[in-house]
Amino acid sequence: MTDLTELARLIRDDSASRGQPISKLGYFCAPFRPTQGPFSDRVIKVYRGSTDPALMARLATCHADYVAALHKTGVPVPETEFHLLPEGDLEVPVIVQEALPAESMMRPQMQAAPRDAALELMEAAGQVIARFWNNADQFETRIGFHPSIRNFAVAGGQASFFDTFPPLIHYSRPEMGRMLLIFSESALMRRVGPLLRGRVTGIQDEWYLPPETLVGLVGSACRLRPEHGEAFLAWGRDFMTREMPRWADEALPHLQRPPRLPGYWTGMRKVLGLQGEPNV
């Protein structure tokens, strides 16, 4: 059982004890892995707290349901715990997740891999995407998936997915749009986001569309390794026909040339100062 007192102490501790963030690409938080102690084999993700008990209770329920849904659809997820820790008047959401080997992260592997090895990484991630969507019909609720390259680890030809926040289950489109504002780590986003509510809400749309998630993966690969773009596109066309035929007609027109990110999203990242390289 997780020692919540020790977890709270760790979160309040200085950065030297907490360890350096393992990623600065996140929209909601910068995950870190402690350098020592009982959580040294875990990644800690701390999100913005809230004084709204109903909001946080629903978040906890949705997170539990989402992790269960991922498992039920056959998506490999590292051991993941969700906690609400008291901090003054706030409840602070914290995810404690089994740490995967750094060398298994898909993004750096994609950056270094020769073409054929990169295609094997894409196949591993694609199989997880197909497995999720081909089994998602069993849920009588709105459910989504955000399978970007940076949310996968690949080892031994098998991909694991580790992004469970926000939990993409049960929330309506307007509700998820509000979640993107409430839990954004950027104070600027929380200030200006309500003025751009339509654009902020639109960020989530591809997470709920099966063909768009695969097209998004291919687009990320093309931006990360443009010299292999044609190979990634050919793989994507073959994969959609082979593993996700229900959505092939929708996806194939978008896999004739490297998919591009929406201009409003790339512009918003620059305004907010979000870090990342070509596949963000």
Q: State yes or no: pLDDT of 137 exceeds 50.
A: yes
Q: What residues does each domain of the chain span?
A: 14-98, 102-272
The pTM (predicted TM-score) of the whole model is 0.89
pLDDT band at 16 (very low <50, low <70, confident <90, very high): low
Q: Which of 11-20, 79-88, 145-154, 235-244 has the lowest mean pLDDT?
A: 11-20
Q: Buried (b) or exposed (e) across 171-197, using 16+ Cβ within 10 A?
A: beeeebbbbbbbbbbbeebeeebeeee
Question: What is the model's pLDDT at position 276?
Answer: 47
Mean pLDDT score, 34-39: 89
- Backbone region of residue 80 per phi and psi (left: phi > 0; alpha: psi in -120 to 50; beta: other values): beta
Give the residue among 214, 180, 190 at the shortest CA–CA distance from 272: 190
CB atoms within 10 A of CB 58: 15
Q: What is the mean pLDDT of the chain?
A: 87
Q: State yes or no: pLDDT of 272 exceeds 70.
A: no
Q: Which of 107-111, 151-155, 222-226, 272-276 has the lowest mean pLDDT?
A: 272-276
Q: Are 246 and 137 in contact (CB under 8 A)?
A: no
Mean pLDDT score, 155-172: 97
Question: What is the model's pLDDT at position 273?
Answer: 47
Q: Which of 22-31, 92-101, 146-155, 205-214 has the lowest mean pLDDT?
A: 22-31
Q: State yes or no: pLDDT of 159 exceeds 80.
A: yes
Q: Alpha-carbon distance 191 to 280, whole Å?
A: 23
Question: What is the model's pLDDT at position 124?
Answer: 98
Kindly give, in sequence order, each residue whose CB lies less than 8 Å from that of residue 242, ignoring residues fewer than 6 positions away. none
Question: What is the model's pLDDT at position 12?
Answer: 80
More confident site: 268 or 277: 268
Q: Which of 62-76, 135-149, 183-197 has the lowest mean pLDDT?
A: 183-197
Q: State yes or no: pLDDT of 24 exceeds 50.
A: no
Q: State yes or no: pLDDT of 175 exceeds 50.
A: yes
Question: What is the model's pLDDT at position 18?
Answer: 57
Mean pLDDT score, 58-70: 98
Q: Which of 31-40, 92-101, 165-174, 196-205 has the lowest mean pLDDT?
A: 196-205
CATH topology for 14-98? Phosphorylase Kinase; domain 1 (3.30.200)
CB atoms within 10 A of CB 111: 15
Question: What is the model's pLDDT at position 215?
Answer: 97
More confident site: 4 or 280: 4
Highest mean predicted confidence (pLDDT) among 11-15, 251-255, 267-271: 251-255
Mean pLDDT score, 118-139: 98
More confident site: 243 or 188: 243
